[in-house]
Amino acid sequence: EAQVTQNPRYLITVTGKKLTVTCSQNMNHEYMSWYRQDPGLGLRQIYYSMNVEVTDKGDVPEGYKVSRKEKRNFPLILESPSPNQTSLYFCASSPYGSGANVLTFGAGSRLTVL
């Protein structure tokens, strides 16, 4: 089944404790991206990647890092999480970036930072 898999689905952590949210896709997609969803703000793009070793900032990159060492994986790293990073996070992929390409989303990762 074609899918985007995120882990963990739920996580409660404390301020400053580094964490990684993994994302993997099995569709051989070139493009992958991370979004956060907050009430009243909709989805905002954090980072995206056009291909292996090619990443770029979205609209809200502060406090996050990403890497794309393999085509299928695109982990989101919070080096020192803070409470304002409490949010619902989505990873998504598409065959190519932008244009008419359709995003396939993961099921989401709900992160709480205390």
Partner 1 sequence: GNSVTQMEGPVTLSEEAFLTINCTYTATGYPSLFWYVQYPGEGLQLLLKATKADDKGSNKGFEATYRKETTSFHLEKGSVQVSDSAVYFCALSTNTGNQFYFGTGTSLTVIP
35 is a site residue for partner 1 (CB under 8 A):
yes
Minimum distance, C-beta of residue 19 to partner 1, in the bound complex (Å)? 20
* 1 or 102: CB nearest partner 1: 102
41 is a site residue for partner 1 (CB under 8 A):
yes
53 is a site residue for partner 1 (CB under 8 A):
no
63 is a site residue for partner 1 (CB under 8 A):
no
Closest CA to 23 of 40, 5, 48, 39: 5
45 is a site residue for partner 1 (CB under 8 A):
yes
For the chain, the straight-line distance linking the first and the last C-alpha, in angstroms and rounded, comes to: 36
103 secondary structure, DSSP code: P
* Cα angle 45, 9, 21; round to 5: 55
Tell me the C-alpha to C-alpha distance, in Å, between residue 87 and each of 26, 80, 83, 100.
Answer: 25, 15, 9, 28
Minimum distance, C-beta of residue 64 to partner 1, in the bound complex (Å)? 16
Instruction: Please report, as ranges, the residues that interact with partner 1 according to CB under 8 A.
Output: 4, 31, 33, 35, 37, 40-45, 48, 50, 56, 58-59, 90, 92, 97-103, 105-108
